Amino acid sequence: MRRAGVLRMADVFISYASEDRDRVRPLAEALLSRGFNVWWDRSLSAGQDYSQIIERELRAAKAVIVVWTQGSAASTFVRDEAGRARDEGRLVPVMLDRIEIPLGFGAFQAEDFTRWNGGANAPQIQLLEEVLKAKLSGRDVDGAAIERRRRRLGTRVRIVSVLTVLALIIGIAVGGKYLFDPPAPPPPDLRAELLRLLAEGQLTPEQAIQLAQILETGALGEQTAALQSPGAADGASPSAPSSEARAITVSDTEFDATARDTYREAFAALAAHPDAEVRLAVAQMTSDSTRQAAMQTLWAYAQAHPDDPLRDQIYLLCGSVGEANDLPLGQRALEAAANLEPRNTDTWRMLSRSYARTNRVTEAAATAQVSEAVEAQNAGQTAMAEQQLQEALPQLQSPELRAPVASELGQIAEQRGDFTAASARFSQAYASREQAARAAPESAAAQVLDADAQRLVSALDRSGRTQEACERLRQAQEAHDVAAPDQQLLERCQRTLRTQLRPRVELAPQIRAQRIQPAPAAPTP
């Protein structure tokens, strides 16, 4: 026996093993409470044709939640339902047990519900809601946006637990007096007090940084001045771009809000960084006397560690704080962040203000337009996004900025099946990325170069230009050790070319993050 149902012809179908019924019930109820039309087989009546009803509901659903547990991983029924959902682009995996995902489903990131408290407003449910909304509206799931939201929600959870730690630390600092007597006024220098506790081993670096963020009054955390241009605190205007630039770019007010939110998110994400040097530099970013040196430390670390999964957050922290304080490194950091995560509207918004401040009026307007285009793209309005990106691209002078915009245009063309146009855009992106990489081999542009190379090769192959695709793959392997994006393509190229190719097949991380749904199959040459 296996499960039972709630609603007929629902939008969301839940697939699970019968022994997990009691564990799945809170999930179904939570989604129902948030307005989703959910079917799970809890209420099949006696005499009903079990298999026909499940088949009908599975076929009608726009999203199929597969609940992975020890039991479901061994269930033939669950794996069959998951396979159909995967092949049709409807799969939404959820993990209740920490298990090895069955073969064939490992490429699809499962939302981690192993520590879910069962609440309908828990962070896990909110993340799942975002994915389901995208599936139900027919949009691709924005993996980067989901990851940003995951970080923000994780931060809120950590802050709740840190508040308890804060009370304990205050008690430690005054010998437990606060536990019995009303607290005295806080010391005039909370920064020094937290640093002392950190030095004495009464705080871990992670606790210090998290506590500082909560306090927001000075101690290792966000200073008001840290997100203001010089002179803003005393009522003077920040260094002002021209009136023309102000009319077509991001306003100072919009920048302040964007920079502040970006700062907080990056600050929280880096609080638990495994490298002590990074944690210390993050803390030092809050002090006027150490901020610039700390930014240099973080920049050097990011350049030397291209595989760090938090590299984009390092660039965003340096970019938001650096730009707010008119530090030259801030603009470079934002340009790097745009390469690593081009669908982050906040990055382009801050870049627009940065270019206006440095009198690069044309690029200020172009990046403001890119921000609007990316926002439209994230909302599924691809036609509007494409038009805006096409208008902005010729106005961008830096190859480090042309590359991500051209790549996004290529992906839009690829989505509508125009692989000829896609290959032209990916070729443009790859050329710009190579130009930037030659100038700065450790740059973020160099890190993303392999993704554009793989996209170019795949698009050429899908447009019927397999010979050219193979030649491009050979060149990319010789110049940059780029892996082949597809085993079948690699084998065809091995037969076509006389030069032996490296037998490496591995999607670039930037492509893996976006392959939530399976890509269309390549045409046979």
| Residue ranges of domains in the chain | 12-138, 147-223, 243-456
What mean pLDDT do residues 210-218 have? Answer: 45
Give dist(CA 257, CA 260) in Å, integer. 5
CATH architecture of 243-456: Alpha Horseshoe (1.25)
Averaged pLDDT for residues 395-399: 88
Look at domain 12-138 and name its CATH class. alpha beta
Residue 148's pLDDT is 67
Pairing of strands 38-39, 12-15: parallel
Structure tokens at 59: 């076929």
For position 65, what pLDDT does the model report? Answer: 94
Burial call 214-225: b when 16+ CB within 10 Å, e when fewer: ebeebbbbbbee
What is the residue-averaged pLDDT of the chain? 75
Lowest mean pLDDT among 65-74, 207-216, 239-248, 329-338: 239-248
Output the CA–CA distances (angstroms, integers) from residue 374 to 38, 93, 262, 420, in the order listed: 32, 27, 17, 23
Query: Cβ distance 487 to 505 under 8 Å?
Result: yes
Q: Tens of pLDDT along 171-213?
A: 434 333 333 333 444 443 445 555 555 555 555 555 555 555 5
Give the pLDDT band (50/70/90) at residue 301: very high
User: Which amino acid is present at 126?
Assistant: Q
Would you say residue 390 has pLDDT above 90? yes
Q: Which residue, chain included where needed, has tokens 């630039």? A: 245
Name residue, tokens 């989901």.
146
